[in-house]
Structure 1
Amino acid sequence: MLWYALLVLAVAAERVAELVVARRNATWTLARAGVEHGRGHYPVMVVLHTGLLVCCLAEPALADRPFVPALGWPMLALALLAQALRWWCITTLGPYWNTRVIVIPDTRLVATGPYRFLRHPNYVAVVVEIFALPLVHTAWLTAATFTAANALLLAVRIRCENSALSAAVPA
């Protein structure tokens, strides 16, 4: 299980890197008259993502979950693909990417990279990762619980983001 703990810690380090990028990008967008939306759900998102990482470590240890190669290896591949998609989104949006919903009025939507195919590709990465990362080490309870909680949160988040973007983006 040591290698799995290292994987989860690597994902935690990746999250810290995201927060560094997000803070830099927030400063940039706010300096350009960016407006933040959805502050109320942001702390819930932080708790959900932090709780996921804690439970990814806790469930296999406390419930004595084994590593099942037929499940673990494909889930590891999905988790890694989710990370690649996330960073494709981050690099495509550049300074417009953030963990918060901050929109600069009268800015056009980005329609390159993964945004050519989907309106919210970063959320596809989040959904896949929340499902796959726990299943790398058979933490099915964590996968089910956090997938359901994330679905509820994303319903709020996507509605907030769509509303903010439609109000700020020129027709």
Structure 2
Amino acid sequence: MFFYLFILLLAAQRLVELVYAKRNEKWMKAKGAEEFGQRHYPFMVLMHATFFVALVVEVSMKQSVLYPLWPFLLALFLGLQLMRLWTIRTLGRYWNTKIIVLKGEKVVVKGPFRFLKHPNYFVVTAELIVIPFIFQAYWTLIVYFLLNQIILMIRLNEEEKALEQLTNYQEAFAKR
């Protein structure tokens, strides 16, 4: 029961984030922002959507039990959610699931960006380890961790090029 409640809450959170991202996308594009990385985005969405399916299938088939140290992992997951919210709040209307850049804007270097260039990607990568681990879904962990790394290699390259081209990205992170 805990597993299905967890998945339901996680899916609801992701849907709320998508609504917020869509609203931010409309606002940014109305201000003249450009979108990059359209070719890989559907694969990223597919990966994230099928992660839920794979997790449910693996846990249901194996009738997995919680990992013995699940309270620690759940606390880690909750910490990751705080970092996700901190990142979203710090970026405000600039936060998105797509690569959308407004020319001439200064990149955000406060909040979690003081410590990491891409804190949201760190959170997602950590979640793709922690969530399956909680429910001992090791195949899901391995497959989706690897798929995420492939997508991130493509995405980070696209995003950094876009930011370097249209913002003060190089200057802002040159000292780090």
Separation in structure 2 between the aligned mates of residue 116 and residue 141 of structure 1, nearest angstrom = 34
Contact 2:73–2:130 under 8 Å retained in 1: yes
**Correspondence 1:104 to 2:102:** yes
Partner of residue 3, structure 1: 2
TM-fit CA distance, 1:78: 2.1
Contact 1:78–1:128 under 8 Å retained in 2: no
TM-fit CA distance, 1:64: 2.5
Aligned residue for 2:31, secondary structure, equals coil
Partner of residue 174, structure 2: none
Q: Deviations over 1:71-123 (max 9, x none)?
A: x2222222222211111111000000100000000010101100111110010
TM-score, normalised to structure 2, is 0.92
Partner of residue 121, structure 2: 123
Partner of residue 135, structure 1: 133
RMSD of equivalent CA atoms: 1.1
Q: Deviations over 1:17-75 (max 9, x none)?
A: 110110010011001110000001111111111111112211111023222322x2222
Amino-acid identity (%): 37
Q: Deviations over 1:114-164 (max 9, x none)?
A: 011111001010001011111111101101110011011111111111000
Separation in structure 1 between the aligned mates of residue 86 and residue 128 of structure 2, nearest angstrom = 18
Separation in structure 1 between the aligned mates of residue 11 and residue 67 of structure 2, nearest angstrom = 23
Partner of residue 50, structure 1: 49
The within-5 A match list for 1:27-106 is 27-70=26-69, 72-106=70-104
TM-score, normalised to structure 1, is 0.95
The within-5 A match list for 1:127-166 is 127-166=125-164
> For residue 74 of structure 1, what is the amino acid of its counterpart?
F
Aligned residue for 1:109, secondary structure, equals coil
> For residue 19 of structure 1, what is the amino acid of its counterpart?
L
Partner of residue 11, structure 2: 12
Query: How many residues are matched?
Result: 169
Separation in structure 2 between the aligned mates of residue 119 and residue 97 of structure 1, nearest angstrom = 14
Unaligned segments of structure 1, at least 5 residues: none
Most deviating of 141-150 and 80-89: 80-89
Contact 1:130–1:146 under 8 Å retained in 2: yes
After superposing on structure 2, the runs of 4+ consecutive aligned residues of structure 1 that deviate more than 3 Å are none
Separation in structure 2 between the aligned mates of residue 134 and residue 113 of structure 1, nearest angstrom = 28
